[in-house]
Amino acid sequence: MSNTEKWKDINKSREKRPKVQEYKNWKELPPIPISLPIDGAIGITGDWRTFRPIIDQDGCNKCGICWMYCPEGSIINKEDGTFEVDLTYCKGCGICAKECPTNNIEMKRESDITHE
């Protein structure tokens, strides 16, 4: 396959598609700009974080509102029904803490956590 046909892989099944496509120049590009669903399309956003959400598992009523509201999909719904923050991609926006109906998520300063 020539370089210029690299983009035709996107037509393949989900499993056979490449995870990331890289193009060097305009000739290699697909006809239109597209995004394929992959983890962290624009990088590891976890290092943007200055405040970290801490879920108090004891007070959590497992409603899942944090999971729904998280703009980055960084809240993981675990098999036992509890929720956990994926710190690789959590950028610390605080929306989960704001939306939590039981006020059970605390935003803690990253520097404080490292000092502990």
Partner 1 sequence: MSKARKDFTQEQETKIIKGNVSAAYAAKSARVQVIGAYPITPQTTVVEKLSEFVDSGSMPGTQYIKVESEHSAMASMVGASMTGTRTFTATSGQGLFYMNEMLHWATGTRLPIVTAIASRGPAPPWNIWADFTDVISQRDTGWMCSFCATHQEIYDEILMSYKVCEDYEILLPKFVAYGGFILSHTSKPVIIEDQEAVDNYLPPLPDEKGWPHIFMDPERPMMFGNLIMPSGFYSEFRLKIHDAHMKAKEKIKNAAKEFEKSFGRNYGNGLTQQYKMNDAEVGMLIYGDLALQMEEAVDLVREEGYKVGMVKLRYFRPFPVEDIINIAKSVKVLGVMDRATAFGSPTGGPVSSEVKTAIEGVEKTAKILPMIGGLGGREVTLEQQTEQLKILIKMNETGDAPGDLFHGTLWHGKLEVE
Binding site for partner 1 (CB under 8 A): 7-8, 10-14, 17, 23, 25-26, 29-37
Three-state DSSP class for residue 53: strand
Three-state DSSP class for residue 45: helix
- Cα gap 63→83, rounded to integer Å: 10
As to burial, measured by CB atoms within 10 angstroms (0-12 exposed, 13-18 middle, 19+ buried), residue 99 is middle
- Cα gap 86→49, rounded to integer Å: 12
Q: How far is the CB of 16 from partner 1 (least distance, A)?
A: 10
37 or 101: CB nearest partner 1: 37
36 or 113: CB nearest partner 1: 36
Q: How far is the CB of 33 from partner 1 (least distance, A)?
A: 5
25 or 114: CB nearest partner 1: 25
Q: How far is the CB of 66 from partner 1 (least distance, A)?
A: 24
